[in-house]
């Protein structure tokens, strides 16, 4: 099988793979640029960053791609700083803005003002249609297999076909893809591209600490759980000691509140918990994961990840 290109507005990715924007600070310039240099679309995770930090990361990604690769950001709609962050990214000339953990109408006005492609993350036909009507350049359709905040408990393979039929913009499937066969399966269901998070979280260029990446390799299928996030969504994570406390309703309450979310249940601080994990504290940190992270057994360079994926896909039907 030959991989198709992925067209989003005027953007053309030679490989139809988007690297998921994984916060906090897992997906930074180094990872996004490495993916863009391989022909995919690299995303910087803006959630939890200050505006100047985001500017620095975007400029670094442009430098690392010699201004040629497709670079975007992913930002959590639930974040209080959402509007400021997407405007900052647009001013820096990113190619696209991906938004999840909520649905925002503000983002479309920003996209029009700065001529930036807007790509909402959705999990239903209703939101897919609304996104298209409001001017989305494409949509990411996320199934329950995805990592982080979840908009559905249905499998990507269940919801994807109906959404593909319902809209006339590119549809990128997300949730559970870790290898070439997974990508082929989703493309065969009608997806124009595939978003991959876990496989790139477990890459050399991912900005996670060594202890975090070792946790990815040690985990089993039974370690994948869903916690109740203070954002108001279920969140898919690894059963770390912190996640276990959350499941039992015993997660430590925030000592300091930065008021970082528009709405928060205050059962624990999601930003601080994710930041601790990114820094390697796998005891008191929250480790978001996709449903199939346990299938990954090596930390690889992005270049090698792409090489293996292409090799696997070329071998299918040959």
pLDDT in tens, 62-108: 999 998 999 999 998 888 889 999 999 999 999 999 998 889 888 99
pTM: 0.94
Instruction: Indicate the pLDDT class of residue 256, thresholds 50, 70 and 90.
Output: confident
The pair of three-digit structure tokens given for residue 204, joined into one six-digit string: 């050399």
CATH of residue 76's domain is 3.20.20.70
In eight-state DSSP terms, residue 252 is P
**Mean pLDDT of all residues in 239-259:** 88
Predicted confidence at residue 318, as pLDDT, reads: 64
Contact 175, 145 (CB under 8 A): yes
Helix (H) or strand (E) holding 148, with range, is strand 148-150
Percent of the chain exceeding pLDDT 70 equals: 99
Q: Are residues 42 and 99 in the same domain?
A: yes
Q: Are residues 73 and 166 in the same domain?
A: yes
Q: What is the Cα–Cα distance from 204 to 166, expressed in whole angstroms?
A: 38
Domain residues for 222? 210-293
**Mean pLDDT of all residues in 123-141:** 97
pLDDT in tens, 147-163: 988 989 999 999 999 99
Q: Are residues 56 and 98 in the same domain?
A: yes
* DSSP secondary structure letters along 254-287: PSS----BSS---SS-HHHHHHHHHTT-TTTS--
Q: Are residues 134 and 40 in the same domain?
A: yes
User: In this structure, is residue 1 part of a structural domain?
Assistant: no
Burial class (CB in 10 A: 0-12, 13-18, 19+), 220: exposed
Any bridge partners for residue 178, and if so which? none
Q: Are residues 235 and 187 in the same domain?
A: no
**Mean pLDDT of all residues in 131-144:** 97
């Amino acid at each position: 099988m030959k991989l198709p290109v992925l067209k989003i507005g005027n953007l053309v990715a030679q490989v139809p793979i988007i690297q998921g924007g994984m916060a906090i600070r897992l997906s930074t310039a180094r990872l996004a640029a490495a993916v863009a240099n391989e022909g995919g679309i690299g995303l910087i995770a803006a959630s939890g960053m200050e505006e100047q930090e985001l500017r620095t990361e975007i400029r670094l990604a442009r430098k690392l791609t010699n201004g040629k690769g497709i670079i975007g950001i992913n930002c959590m709609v639930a974040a209080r700083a959402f509007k400021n962050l997407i405007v900052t990214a647009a001013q820096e000339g990113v190619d696209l803005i991906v938004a999840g953990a909520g649905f925002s109408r503000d983002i479309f006005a920003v996209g029009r003002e700065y001529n930036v492609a807007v790509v909402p993350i959705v999990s239903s036909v209703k939101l897919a249609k609304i996104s298209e009507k409001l001017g989305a350049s494409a949509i990411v359709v996320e199934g329950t297999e995805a990592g982080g905040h979840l908009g559905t408990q249905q499998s990507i393979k269940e919801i994807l076909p109906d959404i593909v039929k319902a809209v006339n913009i590119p549809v990128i499937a997300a949730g559970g893809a870790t290898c070439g066969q997974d990508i082929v399966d989703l493309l065969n269901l009608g997806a124009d591209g595939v978003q991959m998070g876990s496989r790139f979280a477990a890459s050399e260029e991912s900005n996670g600490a060594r202890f975090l990446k070792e946790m990815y390799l040690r985990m089993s299928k039974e370690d994948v759980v869903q916690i109740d996030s203070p954002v108001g969504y279920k969140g898919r994570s690894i059963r770390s000691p912190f996640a276990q406390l959350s499941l039992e309703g015993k997660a430590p309450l925030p000592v300091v509140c930065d008021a970082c979310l528009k709405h928060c249940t205050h059962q624990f601080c999601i930003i601080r918990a994710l930041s601790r994990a990114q820094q390697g504290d796998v005891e008191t940190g929250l480790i978001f994961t996709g449903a199939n992270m346990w299938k990954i057994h090596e930390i690889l360079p992005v270049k090698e990840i792409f090489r293996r994926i292409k090799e696997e896909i070329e071998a299918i039907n040959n």
